[in-house]
Structure 1
Amino acid sequence: MKAITQDAYGSADVLRLRDVDRPVPADDEVLIRVHAAGVDAGVWHLMTGLPYPVRLGFGLRAPRTPVPGMDLAGRVEAVGRAVTRFGPGDEVFGIGRGSWAEYACAPEAKLAPMPRGLTFEQAAAVPVSALTALQALRDQGRVRPGGRVLVIGASGGVGTYAVQLAKSFGAEVTAVCGTAKADLVRAIGADHVLDHTREDITEGTRRYDLVLDIAGNRPLSRLRRVLTPTGTLVLVGGEDGGRWTGGMGRSLGAVLLSPFVRQRLRALLSAERHEDLLVLTGLIEAGEVTPVVGRVYPLSEAPDAVRCLREGGVRGKAVIAVRP
């Protein structure tokens, strides 16, 4: 089968389109004929092996799984003997391993039937990013109807879901993005839009019940300024550039400081759950959430998709069409 592979950690230049063996599903796994796969920041971290602690879980000198990719949507080709929810021919979406390939395996517990009305490309843009946004808002942020929510990084994969989900929970949403993407976040429901290229969002007088900082690098002290006295800050990732800590340094600082202040400071570690995929399916089918697919790349152009992501050129989420 055709697949994008890498033999070493590095930039997008290490990615190659090659012929590799088709994977074999374990007893609790599903073999999926992949139609589309998502591109997200997590894939970049695993590709580069940065920050370095990532390598403890995924291979010290080279990736243990040579085919990148987690998000996927496609049709079930075969199932392990312990799988009960799915059978050959079912259309599914979810999170697997090595999804930038014609075939990939995924645990049954990380899959769900594809939402009605979505294309494979749209469905592949959902799992990792939408699960992250859902758990950040609902579980860590405890968003409530009428609450004031600030989403920093609102135009990306996680951010576009966070804006829509916060609105579906009844919150008043202020979105932070660049000038070129302001119309996008307004179109998906943001009540207010702040342009981070024109103003310092931590210097204003407005206060928020929940601040969701997605892959940002602002110091905790500045983010706390825009919180209400008992508000909640949720850090989703982080890109402060350190090769050893990455965004983990700021996240660890938030966790250590939280017990000593009235504000709740949280760092998200998202979980990949079948049940939450079903929650997202319900919201999508009800028309409350719509995947924002910025650009679709053929499998052979996966390296370009990664480069565009790192340069900040993606509106919503980039997707790889394995079978257009």
Structure 2
Amino acid sequence: MKAIVQDRYGPPETLTLADVDAPVPAADEVLVRVEAAALNAYDWHVMRGDPRMARLALGRTRPRARIRGRDFAGRVEAVGSDVQGVRPGDAVFGDLGDANGAFAEYVCVPATMVAPKPANLTPQQAAALPLAGVTALMGLRDVGQVQPGHRVLINGASGGVGTLAVQLAKVLGATVTGVCSTRNVDLVRSLGADHVVDYTRDDFTHDARRHDVVFDLVGNRSLTALRRALTPTGTLVLSGGGVYGGGSLLGPVWLLARGRLLAPFVKHRIVALTATPSRQHLDTLRTHAESGHLTPAIDRSYPLHEVPQAIRYLEGEHARSKVVITI
């Protein structure tokens, strides 16, 4: 099969299209013919081994997983002997997690980590959901505990996670403020945001408006500044680093670590989010998509052999919403 492979850390030029052996499903796995995959900031961080501290988990000199990509949508080709409830021909979507491998014609994935594709979404839209959607869902519902009437601010509202977070916060009944650049104001407003802050003109951390939940997806503000935007007993959810510039030893890890250290000593709830996709989360995203309340916004689409160009576009911070790969 064709796949995008990488044998050393580095820029997009280290990614090449190659012929590799197609995977064979284990007893608890399904083999999926990939129709679309999606880029995440995670992909270019792994590609570069950045922040460098992450190489302790990713691989010291090169990524342990040779094929890049984790989010996908496609059709089941075969199932392992122990798999129940999934059959060849089923349209599915899912997240390979740290195993990677979605930028390829076929992937093997545990049956528990795929779900039926939302019937009203294209494969490209479905592939855009797993990691970004689960991050938004966990940050708002599971960790932020957003309730109807809450005021929620999303810093990084025009990104892959942010565009889904705006919609999910509205599903949860919140009044939503999205923070983005000038060119993305209309996009964020069209997704349902009640208020939009253009960070090139205004500083939301000095605004008089206070929020029950601040969901930080950027990691470009101090904890002190972020806490200024909260009500006295509000919740700060840290998932920053998705769009940070890179090239450091610790990257966003330092902000997340400081948040954990500070949390026991302040009235605000401060939570560093680690997204862990599950079948239950994917099913919830499917339900919201099929009800018409959640529609992934697609910025650009690239064919498989142009993954390096797609990652270069994402890495340059010009992308808004999701960038997808058609296979």
Could you tell me how far apart the structure 2 residues matched to 1:306 and 1:242 are?
Answer: 16
Could you tell me how far apart the structure 2 residues matched to 1:266 and 1:259 are?
Answer: 11
Could you tell me how far apart the structure 1 residues matched to 2:26 and 2:252 are?
Answer: 34
Counterpart check, 1:195 vs 2:198? yes
Could you tell me how far apart the structure 1 residues matched to 2:182 and 2:219 are?
Answer: 17
Could you tell me how far apart the structure 2 residues matched to 1:114 and 1:214 are?
Answer: 26
Change (3 A) 1:242 1:253: farther
Map of 1:22 onto structure 2: 22
Number of matched residues? 322
Could you tell me how far apart the structure 2 residues matched to 1:81 and 1:48 are?
Answer: 37
- The CA deviation at 1:248 is 0.8
Counterpart check, 1:252 vs 2:257? yes
Counterpart check, 1:303 vs 2:305? no
Could you tell me how far apart the structure 2 residues matched to 1:282 and 1:164 are?
Answer: 13
Q: Secondary structure at the match of 1:10?
A: coil
Could you tell me how far apart the structure 2 residues matched to 1:45 and 1:25 are?
Answer: 28
What is the identity, as a one-letter code, of the residue corresponding to 1:39? L
Equivalent of residue 270 in structure 1, options 271, 275, 278: 275
State the percentage of identical aligned residues: 53
1:102-151, CA deviations, whole angstroms, 9 ceiling, x for partnerless residues? 01111112110001111111100000100000000011111010000000
- The CA deviation at 1:304 is 1.1
- The CA deviation at 1:171 is 0.2
1:188-215, CA deviations, whole angstroms, 9 ceiling, x for partnerless residues? 1000100011112211111110000102
Change (3 A) 1:93 1:19: same
In structure 1, the gaps of 5 or more residues are: none
8 A Cα contact 2:38 2:128, kept in partner:
yes
Could you tell me how far apart the structure 2 residues matched to 1:194 and 1:215 are?
Answer: 15
What is the identity, as a one-letter code, of the residue corresponding to 1:123? A
Counterpart check, 1:110 vs 2:116? no
- The CA deviation at 1:81 is 1.7
Please give the residue correspondences for 1:1-324 in structure 2 after superposition, counting only pairs within 5 Å. Answer: 1-96=1-96, 97-238=100-241, 239=244, 241=246, 243-322=248-327
- The CA deviation at 1:44 is 1.1
In structure 2, the gaps of 5 or more residues are: none
Could you tell me how far apart the structure 2 residues matched to 1:23 and 1:13 are?
Answer: 25
* 4+ runs deviating over 3 angstroms: none
What is the identity, as a one-letter code, of the residue corresponding to 2:291? A
Could you tell me how far apart the structure 2 residues matched to 1:26 and 1:253 are?
Answer: 41
